[in-house]
Amino acid sequence: MKLIVGLGNPGRQYERTRHNLGFMVVDLLAARWSIGMTVEGSGSFGRGRVAGQTVGLLKPMTFMNRSGQAVLEVVQFYKLETADLLVVFDDLDLPVGRVRVRAKGSAGGHKGLGDIINRLGSEDIARVRIGIGRPAGDDAVDYVLSPFGPQEREPIEAAVRVAAQAAECWLTEGPDAAMNRYNSSPDAKTEPQ
């Protein structure tokens, strides 16, 4: 089984905030692939068949800084390797709407990814990063927990679609293909459906 994890925070007050982009991508994939999600253990989880293989979708319900708890539960239960895992999340260091795929690396300051890396004991985890830009001041916490401004909504909605396509490419063709296709241009557009 391959596992796609979208990071975010549970609760209605966080639904449309910058920090919940991972949840938005998983919700889009669940709808696209007709995978029902139910709360199991520390996360909202669903399984289905996509392109001839079993795929799991996970949204940790433990709040961002403890995302690794839900991921570890699923990884251990299904006996997954880190190569079977893709994490989707927001990134302060990318411009708003930019999508980047990496096969591995450090958490880069992202607390949710950092907790996953710590609990799994490996940085060899593929990820799709969606840019939210960095705020002008120093208060990143308020910024990531705030909703998108009107001028950001369109590029963010497009980025969520691109990130979902990058996740599907990772699933069907592997991380190298996803990086080659979705990192090639800062203005990479969605592919035809």
Contacts of 82 (CB under 8 A, 6+ apart): 120, 122, 124, 125
Per residue in 69-86, pLDDT (tens digit) is 999 999 999 999 999 999
Per residue in 48-67, pLDDT (tens digit) is 999 999 999 999 999 999 99
Portion of the chain with pLDDT greater than 70, in percent: 94
Burial 78-113 (b: 16+ CB within 10 A, else e): eebebebbbbbbbbbebebbbbbbbbeeebeebbbb
Q: Mark whether 110 is an active-site residue.
A: no
SS3 147: strand
Per residue in 160-177, pLDDT (tens digit) is 999 999 999 999 999 999
Q: Which of 2, 18, 19, 129 is catalytic?
A: 19
Give the pLDDT band of residue 193 (cuts 50, 70, 90): very low
Per residue in 1-45, pLDDT (tens digit) is 999 999 999 999 998 899 999 999 999 999 999 999 999 899 999
Tell me the domain boundaries of the chain: 2-182
188 class by beta-carbon count within 10 Å (0-12 exposed, 13-18 middle, 19+ buried): middle
Q: Which residue has the tokens 């979708």?
A: 57
Give the pLDDT band of residue 186 (cuts 50, 70, 90): low
Nearest to 54 by CA among 3, 125, 126: 3
Q: Is the model's pLDDT at 184 over the cut of 90?
A: no
Q: Give the end-to-end CA distance of the chain in Å, rounded to a whole number.
A: 24
* The CATH number of domain 2-182, selected from 3.40.50.300, 3.40.50.1470, 3.20.20.70, 3.30.1280.10: 3.40.50.1470
How far is residue 177's CA from residue 185's CA, in Å, rounded to a whole number? Answer: 14
How many CA atoms within 13 Å lie on the side-chain side of 97? 16
What was the pLDDT predicted at 167? 98
Q: What is the mean pLDDT of the chain?
A: 92
Joined together, the tokens standing for residue 78 give 């299904």
pTM of the model: 0.93
